[in-house]
């Protein structure tokens, strides 16, 4: 799969064309074990366009820093909360800073931070009254607020110093973007989350629906204040 996408990787100067490979979930609460396994998997595949998937557990954060510091592309997966997302971004920056301090190149360090979107609505909707207007709004509100945090962190002084050394931003990735509730638009989690520096791992059926009736326009930072109020409610 990495070989099939290698031309995309080359044409985008290492920004796109990645395949993700997950560390065993049995290591989700083992920082050292996750870091060791990430290095082993990356070496075993032997392709530069492979992202090693590390879950955003508390124990995963040090492993993210260690893996980034080793020059391995990282897909941080299973992010749900904004608080944990801040920890993920800080772990990524810490790994880049270690590489700079060691005199290493930042060119290999592509990374994404993966939010599981529709699952948030599935969980929150189950706790809400059937007639509330808040149903079906938590997931998009959470993602849009996360994007605002992304813009703040990656326009800050800490990242500017790293960008000067060649660092790439850690792009937000919207995962689980197929609509699970038939009462909602079948392209809800695509239409509402379009914007620069984002990735959407769209399921095939959702992609076909979007090609048929989706709208391509920047939406990910529309209504951010409304999103904040939705989360507060």
The catalytic residues are: 53
Query: At 1, which helix (H) or strand (E)?
Result: none
- Provide the 8-state DSSP code for 47: -
Query: At a CB cut-off of 8 Å and minimum separation 6, what does 26 contact?
Result: none
Encode burial over 200-213: b for 16+ CB neighbours within 10 A, e otherwise: bbbeeebbebbeee
Dihedral, CA of residue 54, residue 60, residue 66 and residue 68, to nearest 10: 40
Residues 6+ apart with CB under 8 A from 31: 59, 60, 61, 62, 63, 66
What are the φ/ψ torsions at residue 43 (nearest 5 degrees)?
A: -70, -35
């Amino acid at each position: 799969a990495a070989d099939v996408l290698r031309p995309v990787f080359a044409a985008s100067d290492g920004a796109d064309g990645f395949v993700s490979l997950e560390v065993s979930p049995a290591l989700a609460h083992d920082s050292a074990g996750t870091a060791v396994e990430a290095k082993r998997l990356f070496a075993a595949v032997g392709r530069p366009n492979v992202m090693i998937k590390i879950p955003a557990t508390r124990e995963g954060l040090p492993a993210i820093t260690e893996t980034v510091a080793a020059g391995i592309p990282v897909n941080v997966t299973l992010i749900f909360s904004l608080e944990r997302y801040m920890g993920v971004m800080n772990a990524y920056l810490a790994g880049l800073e270690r590489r700079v301090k060691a005199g290493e190149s930042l060119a290999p360090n592509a990374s994404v931070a993966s939010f599981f979107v529709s699952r948030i609505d599935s969980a929150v909707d189950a706790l809400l009254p059937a007639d509330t207007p808040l149903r079906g709004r938590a997931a998009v509100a959470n993602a849009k607020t996360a994007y605002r945090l992304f813009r703040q962190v990656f326009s800050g002084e800490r990242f500017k110093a790293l960008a000067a050394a060649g660092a790439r931003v850690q792009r937000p990735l919207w995962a689980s973007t197929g609509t699970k509730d038939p009462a909602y638009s079948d392209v809800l989690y695509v239409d509402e989350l379009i914007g620069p520096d984002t990735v959407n791992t769209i399921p095939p059926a959702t992609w076909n629906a979007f090609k048929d009736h989706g709208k391509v326009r920047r939406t990910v930072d529309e209504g951010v204040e409304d999103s904040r109020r939705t989360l507060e409610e």
